[in-house]
Copies of this chain bind each other. A is one copy, B any other.
Amino acid sequence: MVTSRDVAHAAHVSQATVSRVLNGNTRVAPEARERVLRALDELGYVPNASAKAMRTARAGAVGIVASEMLNPYFPRLLDALTREARERDLTVLLWNDDDPAAPMAQAGVKSGAVDAVIFAAAKQETTGVDQLASRGVPVMLVNRADPGNPVDQVTSDHEGSGYAAAAYFLDRGRDDLATVFGPRDTFASPARERGFRRCLAERGVEVATRRWFVGTTSYEHGWASATALLESGTLPSAVFCSADLIAFGVISALRRGGVRVPEDVWVMGNDGLPMSEWDPFDLTTHRQPIEEIAKQGMDRLVARMAGEHGEPRRIMIPTELIVRGSTAHA
């Protein structure tokens, strides 16, 4: 291992001068600086992260708590977050932790391994978030709007996308509806549900309880719900799904049952997964601005790490309706 002492020796200066050159906040004589820079380069010096962290009491790292890595939106989010982190010279620690108390994050903060935590978990339970936030640790919620929680959050407008979905159907005379939602203990799905309901209420449209399905965010849940619709004898004119994955299952089951999409039934998803564009689905959906969420989330977090105080900020980014063949018929 090459230490700053080695560099100092090679450059015929004191170790403190090497440190000064590296941090650049103090004045150093041009010739000395030159020698140090050369030695730095020749020896391939890289500062010891632990020593620096111990001395400065800052790890230069953020932790990401992920409980649903297999959720299809997660890779895009992680890709975007790690890219943003790199641009800001932040190290990323990844915790695969599905405990709502987020014990790994608690330990990560207490051990000084990270300076801040990003919660990318889908579940509503927030004991872990609360504990950290109350200790003054910079905490960020991505893609979940939690008005009751006094921490920074950046999310897409889940409720708005649900509202837009219902409005889209009703504006086009499709008022014989069915819906298939994900779990109630997550953020995104209930929010989309609320938005959908709000629009229904405004227009005085009702949806029968037996056509209001709630389950997991999965192809299988969509398949099962659509199968139930088929078996009920009468079909709705349109189905809204709170997630693309669910919509794929709905479309597949309907077609398997001899029902045409969109001629007989319209189907809409939500998420804008790359697959939604595939020919067998050609799904009308709402694009989630993942990159934008990652970017703004990191911006906020970095500001807090830099010591910014003040009220928690709740940033909401609108989604974009993408109309495709699963609803668009002449």
Contact = CB atoms under 8 A, between A and B. Distances in A.
A238 interface: no
Contacts of A64: 94
Interface stretch (A75-83, A155-163, A191-199, A229-237): A75-83
A49 interface: yes
Contact of A46 (B78, B79, B83, B111): B111
Nearest to A64: B94
Interface stretch (A51-59, A117-125, A206-214, A263-271): A51-59
Q: Is the interface on chain A under 10, 10 to 19, 20 to 34, or 35 or more residues? A: 35 or more
> Which of A46, A74, A86: most chain B Cβ within 10 A?
A46
A279 interface: yes
Contacts of A82: 69, 94-96
Nearest to A252: B279
A291 to B, nearest CB: 12
A50 B112 contact: yes
Contact of A256 (B50, B79, B93, B279): B279
A70 interface: yes
Given A50-B51, A92-B94, A76 B86 contact: no
Nearest to A91: B93
B223 A279 contact: yes
A44 B79 CA distance: 34
Interface in A65-106: 69-70, 74-76, 78-79, 82-83, 85-86, 91-97, 104
Nearest to A218: B274
Contacts of A281: 280
> Which of A54, A91, A255: most chain B Cβ within 10 A?
A91
A20 B249 CA distance: 57
Contacts of A1: 110, 112
Interface of A: 1-2, 44, 46-51, 53-54, 59, 64, 69-70, 74-76, 78-79, 82-83, 85-86, 91-97, 104, 107-108, 110-113, 219, 223, 248-249, 252-253, 255-256, 274-275, 278-281
The 3 closest A-B pairs by CB, nearest first: A82-B96, A46-B110, A49-B111
